[in-house]
Amino acid sequence: MKLTWHGHSCFTLEAGGCTVALDPYGDGSVPGYAPLALTADAVLCSHEHGDHGARDKVTLSGKGCSIPVEEIHTFHDPERGALRGPNIIRIFSAEGMKVAHLGDLGCELEPEQKEKLKGLDAVLIPVGGHFTIDAKQAKALVDELKPRVVVPMHYRWPGHGYGVIGPLEDYLELCGDAVKYEGNTLELTRDTPAQTAVLTYLG
């Protein structure tokens, strides 16, 4: 399974001959990030805000995608959506592995929701706070769920991301297992060791 980070919370997931684009951002919606021009078999968005729901930035192949997906309906804020609306977590099962994209999770998860997220091979998790859970909340959730690989997203770094959200370092300071990649892709296999995978934005 191949995970490619395109900036902010946008990834493509490739597995079993299928490519899924996740949470594409609109042009100019996130400071510092270049316009997207992706090609995929499917596009899925955790919610409809401009920095996550820009489906027009993805050209669909037309062949469809057969990767099984389970949805968990959550909220973008701790007030059950009253501030920013709903959020959808998606769990993908392919090649004998499970990967979850948490979208803009901004609330505590219910016990039954956490159960569905246990045993993950990788989790793509927001860590920046303000609009989502923050670094400490993300680390607490990771410690409870115990995914094998953690990929932080939705954070600020020099010249990129919203000024009101926290920097990546806030999360990495809580971890002792960060692995920094020179590229923006992670080849996830059943043998990939436990780690916090920091992918590099390539523009």
CATH of the domain at 71: 3.60.15.10
pLDDT at 49: 95
What distances in angstroms separate CA 159 from CA 2, 7, 162, one per listed residue? Answer: 27, 12, 9
Question: Dihedral of the CA atoms 187, 190, 195, 199 (nearest 10)?
Answer: 10
Q: pLDDT-based confidence at 81, cuts 50/70/90?
A: confident
pLDDT at 64: 86
Position 86 in a domain: yes
pLDDT digits over 112-157, tens only? 999 999 999 999 999 999 999 999 999 999 999 999 999 999 999 9
What domain range is 66 assigned to? 2-192
Q: pLDDT-based confidence at 83, cuts 50/70/90?
A: confident
Q: Tell me if residue 160 falls in helix, strand or coil.
A: strand
pLDDT digits over 16-73, tens only? 999 999 999 999 999 999 999 999 999 999 999 999 999 999 999 999 898 999 999 9
How many H-runs (helices) and E-runs (strands) does the chain carry? 3, 14
- What is the total count of domains within the chain? 1
Alpha helix ranges (H) inside 24-148: 111-116, 135-145
Position 202 in a domain: no
| DSSP H or E stretch at residue 169 | helix 168-172
Position 115 in a domain: yes
Position 198 in a domain: no
- Non-local (6+) Cβ contacts of 112 within 8 A are none
Q: 139 — phi, psi (to 5°)?
A: -65, -40
